[in-house]
Structure 1
Amino acid sequence: MTGPSAHDIKRGRQVRLVAVVIAVTMILWMGGQWLGGHFGWETRFVFLFDLAAIAGFIWALAVTYQIWRGRRA
């Protein structure tokens, strides 16, 4: 029985990285929303958390698509 190939290990690292980015992005976004409401920040400042979260999710989506395409090849 052989172990996983180097390509499988690389793909596994990418999948874990995507999972961590999604989880951290969600936690930071929710924390930013809570802080903004708690301290009465202006909407334009809280909106920056929304933009950062969108950027994180788009990055995760792009990497997930690359992983998916790599598995099909």
Structure 2
Amino acid sequence: MTQATSDEQKTGRKIALLIAGTGVAWIVINAIGAAMGWTTRTLALFDLAAVAAFGWAIWMIYGLWRSRREKQDE
């Protein structure tokens, strides 16, 4: 098992912050929207933005995994 490099650790932290920040922001926006009476259509826009951010995080995780596999093969 190889040790993660500093760049990989930084990337992992960025991914974790993206996931946590997206989750918190989505919850807060939904709470504000419910309190202010936003339409379902407006809330759905923020839902789609959250799904896009989570998808981006998955893509970043895949890239990190792939780069670690390539280093492992060397």
Under TM normalisation by the shorter chain, which class is it? Answer: 0.7 to 0.9
For 2:7, the equivalent position in structure 1 comes to 10
Kindly indicate whether residue 34 of structure 2 is the aligned counterpart of residue 37 of structure 1: yes
Return the TM-score normalized by structure 2: 0.84
Q: Map 1:1-73 to 2 at 5 A.
A: 8-73=5-70
- For residues 7-28 of structure 1, the C-alpha deviation after alignment (integer angstroms, 9 at most, x for no partner) is 7111111000000000100001
1:62 alignment partner, SS class: helix
Structure 1 residue 37 displacement after superposition: 1.0
Q: How many correspondences in the alignment?
A: 68
Provide the rounded CA distance (Å) in 1 between the counterparts of 2:23 and 2:49.
10
**Paired-residue identity, %:** 38
Provide the rounded CA distance (Å) in 2 between the counterparts of 1:52 and 1:28.
10
Q: Which runs of 5+ in 2 are unaligned?
A: none
Structure 1 residue 35 displacement after superposition: 1.0
Q: Which runs of 5+ in 1 are unaligned?
A: none
- After TM superposition, the runs of 4+ consecutive aligned structure 1 residues lying more than 4 A away are none
Return the TM-score normalized by structure 1: 0.86
